Structure 1
Amino acid sequence: MSVTTAYQDGVLVLTLLRPPGNALDLDAVLLLERYFDLAIHSPPERGMVITGIGETFCAGVDPALFASHGRDLRGELVRAITRMTARLLAIPVPVVAAINGTATGTGFVLALGSDYRLLTDAPGARFGMNGALTGEPLAAGLLDILKAELGPGLARRLTLTSTLLDANTMLDLRIADEACPSDVLLSRAVDKAAVMAEQPGFRTVKRQVRGDLACSVQDRADNGNDPFLLAFG
C-alpha cells in the first residue's frame, strides 16, 4: 500500500510509502483523496500529520509513469490531484506536514495545503515546483494553492524556473513554519497537531482563514474546471 495510517497519541499519521522518492501515481492520489475524505466526515480529534518514509517527503507525480500514460489516464490523474487537494483543504482539524526530506511538485503542494509545516534540517533536502523541468503536470487546483499560499510573484518564479529551495530559504520566505532535526520531526509534528487541536475555536477560524481557498479548489474539482487539461494529453 502506498499510504499507511496509524495513530500516535490520538493524532492520525498518514505516511507516504512509495519508494523511491514516495512519488505519486493515480492509486496513491486516490488513496490520499479517500483518507482525506474520511478525515472530513470523521475528523481525528487531535488532528492529522502527513509525512513520508525515508529521506524524501514526496517527489510529486512520477514523471516517467505520467509520460507513459495515454491521454485519458493523464486527464484522470490531473483531475484526481485537484480532488485530492480539495479534500485536504476541507479537513476541519489541524493538518501538520512533517516534511522529512525533499518535497517537489505535488508533494510540495501537499505541504502547502497543510496548516503547519515542519521541515527537516537535513542539508540536502530541497523544496519547490520543478514540473517545467521534469514534465510533472500542474493541475489547476495546485496552481490555486500555490498562488494563495506563496502569492502570484513567488509562484511564478518557482514554477517557471524550477528553482528548488533549501530549508533556510523556506523559513526566510515563511513558506515553512519551523525546522528541526529528523529524529524528532515526527514527534514534534504530532505534538503540534495535538496542541493546535486543543484550541476550542480552531475549526471556526480555519474555515475563516482557509475556507475561500478550499471552496475554490472544490469548485474546480466538482466542475472539472481545468482550462489546460488538454495540454496534458
Structure 2
Amino acid sequence: MTVLETLRHDDIHELRLSRPPVNALNPELVSTLRKAVIAAPGQGARGIVLSGHAGMFSAGLDVPTLLQLDRAAMGEFWTEFVGLCEALGRSPIPVVAAITGHSPAGGAVLALFCDYRIMARGAFRIGLNEVQVGLVVPEVIQAAMRRLIGAHRAERLMVAGAMVDAEEAYRIGLVDELIDTELVVGRAVSWLQDLLKKPAQAMSETRRIARADLHAEFDRVAEIKSDAFAERWFCDEAQIVLKDMVAKLKAKRG
C-alpha cells in the first residue's frame, strides 16, 4: 500500500500524504516524501502542493512505531526527517502546504518549511506541541517558526507546547490563508499557478534570496545532530510521557 500519492495538475505536482487514519510520519512515509520532493523538479514539476485528507493534514510523528526503534535507528530516522525539512526548505520550486485539517507537531513542522500555507477553516488546530510530550523543539525548527510569527510569539507558543486554532493561526501569520476544507487543495494549485505566471528567472532568483536565511539554518549542521535528538528521545522524562500518551490513545480507541 502506498503511503504517498502523486497527483498532477499540469506542471504542479500534488504530493498527498496517504497513510490513514492520521498520516502519522513513520520512517517509510518520511523517506518517500523526501525523495518525492527532491525528484519533482526533474519530473517536470514547476510547483508542489503538499496535502493530506479532509480533516487531517498530519498528526505528526508516528510515536507508537518510533518507540520500537533502538538508538541507532532513531538517529537514522531523525536524520531523514531533517532531510525532509531541508528538501522542502531548499526546494528550487515553490511548495504550498495545503493544510486540510489538524496539523500538530511534525505536521506543523512540514508546513513551516513550505513557501505558503493554506489551512482549512473550522475547528482544526496547528502548532508545535513537542514540549507537552517531553521533547525539545530543535533550533532549525524554532528558527523556521520565528521566521513566520516573530521571536517573542514563537517563544511563548513553543515553550508552552501550545496549539492554536485555524483562526488564530491566520491572525498571527502561522498560516497565510483560510478556506473551506474541500477548497484547500484547489486554492493551493491556483496560488501556484498565479505565481508561476511571473517572469520565471526574476521570480526564482528573488525567491532564492528571500529564503537564504532558511537555507543558512541547514548549513549549521552541527546543531542538528541525530545523536542529540536520540538522546533526548530516550531520556526518562520523554519516554514516560510518550509511553503514557500511547497508552491513553490505545485505551481511547479500544
TM-score with structure 1 setting the length:
0.89
Q: Which has the larger radius of gyration?
A: 2
1:97 aligns to what? 97
Whether 1:81 and 2:73 are equivalent positions in the alignment is no
SS in 1 for 2:114: coil
The Cα of 1:135 is off from its aligned counterpart by 4.7
Whether 1:203 and 2:204 are equivalent positions in the alignment is yes
Amino acid at match of 1:212: D
Q: Using the alignment, how far apart are the partners of 2:206 and 2:50 within structure 1?
A: 21
Q: Which runs of 5+ in 2 are unaligned?
A: 235-254
2:243 aligns to what? none
* 1:58-88 per-position Cα deviation (integer Å, ceiling 9, x unaligned): 1110122222221111111111111111111
Map 1:1-233 to 2 at 5 A.
Answer: 1-39=2-40, 41=42, 44-45=45-46, 47-122=47-122, 124-135=123-134, 138-200=137-199, 201-220=202-221, 225=225, 228-229=228-229, 230-233=231-234
> Please, which moves more after superposition, 127-136 or 187-196?
127-136
Aligned identity (percent) is 27
- For the Cα contact (< 8 Å) 2:11–2:44, is it kept in 1? no
Amino acid at match of 2:175: A
* 1:180-232 per-position Cα deviation (integer Å, ceiling 9, x unaligned): 111221111111111112212221111111123123225529x9645833222
Amino acid at match of 2:40: A
2:249 aligns to what? none
Aligned residues: 230
- For the Cα contact (< 8 Å) 2:37–2:91, is it kept in 1? yes
Higher relative contact order (CA 8 A, sep 6+): 1
| Cα 1:82/1:144, change in 2 over 3 Å | farther
- For the Cα contact (< 8 Å) 2:24–2:62, is it kept in 1? yes
Q: Using the alignment, how far apart are the partners of 2:27 and 2:135 within structure 1?
A: 13
Q: CA RMSD in A?
A: 2.2
> Please, which moves more after superposition, 208-217 or 11-20?
208-217
| Cα 1:224/1:166, change in 2 over 3 Å | closer
| Cα 1:149/1:42, change in 2 over 3 Å | farther
Q: Which runs of 5+ in 1 are unaligned?
A: none
* 1:83-128 per-position Cα deviation (integer Å, ceiling 9, x unaligned): 1111111112221111100111111011111111111112x20000
TM-score with structure 2 setting the length:
0.82
Q: Using the alignment, how far apart are the partners of 2:221 and 2:72 within structure 1?
A: 18
- For the Cα contact (< 8 Å) 1:94–1:197, is it kept in 2? no
* 1:6-62 per-position Cα deviation (integer Å, ceiling 9, x unaligned): 1013310000111121110011111111011113555612x1111102310011101
